[in-house]
């Protein structure tokens, strides 16, 4: 933290913010997950249905109680054994949806040029190694000062604890000097503002109705593409 600047850090959501929003077929997702089930007598369509239900249950707990979960928790919720080595189909199902927006790298460089730290805070059940790999593949990993994936902490957004973890990861300690950027008005905008941060909304995602929370924040600013975040932040300095 240094005196004379109004801001210290900009922290980004991942899905639908640093990646472009895609509608996902959650039945196809659970079918891919079922490929990792190791129970000897399992029936793929039964496992698929249980995994689909388990997925809804863990994301419901994230929405309603801000409880985080991992891929292992998902299989446990479904009452199924799994082998992490067999998650290839699941990983490959998601991979096309993980591409970093080409505007992210130049934006991160611009923010660094303004003397700001750049971080990520994502609600996710995936291991951090997957996320780190996506950023490395797309050549932006070295531009992040810190990243927090909720699979590795007890809370999810919009819990203020999740936002504080992300601030700590980039070395920031005053939420009033931090900006959060995300595509969801509950998890991201309401959550960041409740934690004392400013929030920029990127309203390009079609959030499924069952993923909407109990509140919606009114964003401090709106960016219609990632690159616009640079102008908005610079205007606040």
Among candidate residues 233, 202, 180, the one with its CA nearest the CA of residue 19: 202
Q: Which is nearer to Mg ion, 9 or 181 (CB)?
A: 181
Scored b (16 or more CB within 10 A) or e, 147-182 reads bbbbbebebbbbbbebbbbbbebbebeebebbbbbb
Q: How far is the CB of 136 from Mg ion (least distance, A)?
A: 20
Q: Which is nearer to Mg ion, 101 or 183 (CB)?
A: 183
Contacting residues toward Mg ion, per CB under 5 A: 13, 15-16, 183
Give bridge partners of residue 119 from the DSSP assignment: 11, 146
Q: How far is the CB of 186 from Mg ion (least distance, A)?
A: 11
Coil vs helix vs strand at 134: helix
Q: Answer for the pair 122, 149: CB distance below 8 angstroms, yes or no.
A: yes
Among candidate residues 55, 58, 37, the one with its CA nearest the CA of residue 46: 37
Q: Which is nearer to Mg ion, 15 or 191 (CB)?
A: 15
Q: Which is nearer to Mg ion, 48 or 122 (CB)?
A: 122
Q: How far is the CB of 17 from Mg ion (least distance, A)?
A: 5
Q: How far is the CB of 199 from Mg ion (least distance, A)?
A: 13
Q: How far is the CB of 115 from Mg ion (least distance, A)?
A: 26
Q: Which is nearer to Mg ion, 54 or 181 (CB)?
A: 181
């Amino acid at each position: 933290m240094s005196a004379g600047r109004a801001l210290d850090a900009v922290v980004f959501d991942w899905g639908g913010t640093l990646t472009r929003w895609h509608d996902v077929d959650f039945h196809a997702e659970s079918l891919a997950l079922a490929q990792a089930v190791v129970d000897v007598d399992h029936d793929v369509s039964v496992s698929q249905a249980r995994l689909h239900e388990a997925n809804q249950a863990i994301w419901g707990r994230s929405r309603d109680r801000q409880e985080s979960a991992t891929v292992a928790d998902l299989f446990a919720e479904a009452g199924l054994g799994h082998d992490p080595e067999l998650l290839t189909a699941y990983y490959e199902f998601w991979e096309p949806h993980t591409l970093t927006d080409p505007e992210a790298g130049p934006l991160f460089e611009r923010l660094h040029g303004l003397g700001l730290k750049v971080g990520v805070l994502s609600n996710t059940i995936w291991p951090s190694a997957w996320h780190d790999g996506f950023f490395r593949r797309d050549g932006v990993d070295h531009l992040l000062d810190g990243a927090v994936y909720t699979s590795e902490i007890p809370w999810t957004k919009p819990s203020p604890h999740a936002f504080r973890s992300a601030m700590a990861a980039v070395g920031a300690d005053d939420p009033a000097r931090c900006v959060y950027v995300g595509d969801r008005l509950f998890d991201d905008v309401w959550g960041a503002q409740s934690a004392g941060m400013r929030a920029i909304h990127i309203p390009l995602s079609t959030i499924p109705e069952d993923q909407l929370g109990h509140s919606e924040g009114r964003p401090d600013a709106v960016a219609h593409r990632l690159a616009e975040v640079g102008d908005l932040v610079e205007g606040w300095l």
